[in-house]
Amino acid sequence: MKVLQPGATIGMLGGGQLGRMFCVAAREMGYKVHVYTDEEKSPAGHISDKLVCASYLDEQALEHFASEVDVVTLEFENIPVETIRILSRTTAVYPGAETLYVAQNREREKQFLVDNGFPVAPFALIKTAEDLSALDQVGFPAVLKTAGFGYDGKGQRVVRNQEEAALAFAELGKVSKQAEVVAEALISIDKEFSVIGARNYQSNQSVFTYFGPIENKHVNHILDVSSVPAKLSQHLVEQAANITSAIMDKLDCVGLLCVEFFLSDKGQLMVNELAPRPHNSGHLTIEACPTSQFEQQVRAVCGLTLGATMPFHSAAMVNLLGDLWLKNNNRPNFASALATSQAHLHLYGKDEARAGRKMGHITTVAESSSLAIELALRARSSL
């Protein structure tokens, strides 16, 4: 792959907070960033060198965008695969269309993992109400998830019997306007954690490194707290890293890929989902690691040597949701939160606070992950 020196221009698909933090990292390294999004107001657009607001299927706008950048990457996976194919005619896009095609649909994702021998929870594809009988093999309780375009728990229902499954299937079809649903066995989970892999080519040889594992806790299906180091055996750490590396190799994925893992209460490791981009759990790498996940994305897609990832110290990250703004008349007490001297505040520049919407995060560093979590929760509670 081509090595792009600082001074080159990177194209970013998507204008959210991941794109915003990428822009910060890229511009600190001397790169220009052009953001392409279909939203007129976007966190990344505020600080990009150029903002292009157009449909992801506007071929003329995409071709012009590609002509002005040296490489393209992305900050979220809910982009039409055709967008990547159009851009790829003239400009390198990382990750490529195949990775995006697999990762943006749960059916394709699960089938890819199974076909390549990666561990997953039992699942079945439900296309019609008659297919719900397959849940008897998957087992109850189970989770029904829309096959495409779901995140933060959206498009998911837990069901405990066939009657609940029939109601949930009908409801999800109305909400998502999709007929296909993936049914997964509801696993009794000991831990949830993520590994963020980075991969590119150096002298025509693929190179891989990773962040994590990062231990995660969710509330209402939305990530609430992440911390490092994760409390896992060295064997599990190595197993998770090897799975992440193998998945990236199979997809020939250049850039970042977050693999979300479940560890069952019986000690079984399973892949939950794939995200071909920076990940919410990786925000703590900004303060905790020699290279942040966003700088690593820059390095990966520009063909540079991948940066060091081993954390300097223990760290924790807590999400700040719009609920905090709504409870405090849009005036959270940021000064009070920053009275915790180890706290680092990141706000995403979003104009409107909504319940469940990610508005920012706080990261803390400390001598242990438990202390970092305690400090981060204290800082957030003072808001």
Residue 346 phi/psi, 5-degree rounding, is -130, 120
- What is the secondary structure of 297-331 as a DSSP string? HHHHHTTPPPPP---SSEEEEEEEEHHHHHHTTT-
Residue 328 phi/psi, 5-degree rounding, is -120, 30
Q: Which of 140-144, 165-169, 311-315 has the highest mean pLDDT?
A: 311-315
Domain residue ranges of the chain, discontinuous segments joined by +? 9-93, 122-185, 189-381
pLDDT reported for residue 68: 98
Q: Which residue has the higher pLDDT, 316 or 221?
A: 316
User: Average per-residue pLDDT in the chain?
Assistant: 94
Distance CA 316, CA 114 (A): 33
**Contacts of 205 by beta carbon, 8 Å cutoff, 6+ apart:** none
pLDDT band per the 50, 70, 90 thresholds, residue 175: low
| 189-381 fold | D-amino Acid Aminotransferase; Chain A, domain 1 (3.30.470)
- Determine the residue type at 286: I
Q: Which of 46-55, 120-129, 137-146 has the highest mean pLDDT?
A: 46-55
Please say if the pLDDT value at position 285 is more than 70. Answer: yes
For the ranges 168-177, 254-263, 327-336, which has the lowest average pLDDT?
168-177
For a pLDDT cut of 70, what percent of the chain falls above it? 97
Please say if the pLDDT value at position 176 is more than 80. Answer: no
- Determine the residue type at 90: T
| Of the options 3.30.465.10, 3.40.50.20, 3.30.9.100, 3.40.109.10, the CATH number for the domain spanning 9-93 | 3.40.50.20
CA dihedral of residues 238, 244, 250, 256 (deg, nearest 10)? -140
pLDDT band per the 50, 70, 90 thresholds, residue 136: confident
Distance CA 347, CA 298 (A): 21
Q: Strand 71-74 relative to strand 9-13: parallel, antiparallel, unpaired?
A: parallel
pLDDT band per the 50, 70, 90 thresholds, residue 331: confident
pLDDT reported for residue 174: 64
Distance CA 212, CA 315 (A): 11
Structure tokens belonging to residue 272 = 């939950």
Distance CA 297, CA 76 (A): 13
Q: What is the pLDDT of residues 24-50, one digit of tens each?
A: 999 999 999 999 999 988 999 999 999
| 122-185 fold | Dna Ligase; domain 1 (3.30.1490)
Please say if the pLDDT value at position 227 is more than 80. Answer: yes
Q: Do domains 9-93 and 122-185 have the same CATH topology?
A: no
Distance CA 231, CA 223 (A): 18
Structure tokens belonging to residue 135 = 């849940």
For the ranges 100-114, 156-170, 244-258, which has the lowest average pLDDT?
156-170
Please say if the pLDDT value at position 263 is more than 80. Answer: yes
222, containing H or E segment: strand 222-228
- Determine the residue type at 371: L
Distance CA 282, CA 30 (A): 23
Please say if the pLDDT value at position 150 is more than 80. Answer: no
Please say if the pLDDT value at position 151 is more than 80. Answer: no
Please say if the pLDDT value at position 266 is more than 70. Answer: yes
Structure tokens belonging to residue 139 = 């087992």
pLDDT band per the 50, 70, 90 thresholds, residue 179: low
pLDDT band per the 50, 70, 90 thresholds, residue 187: confident
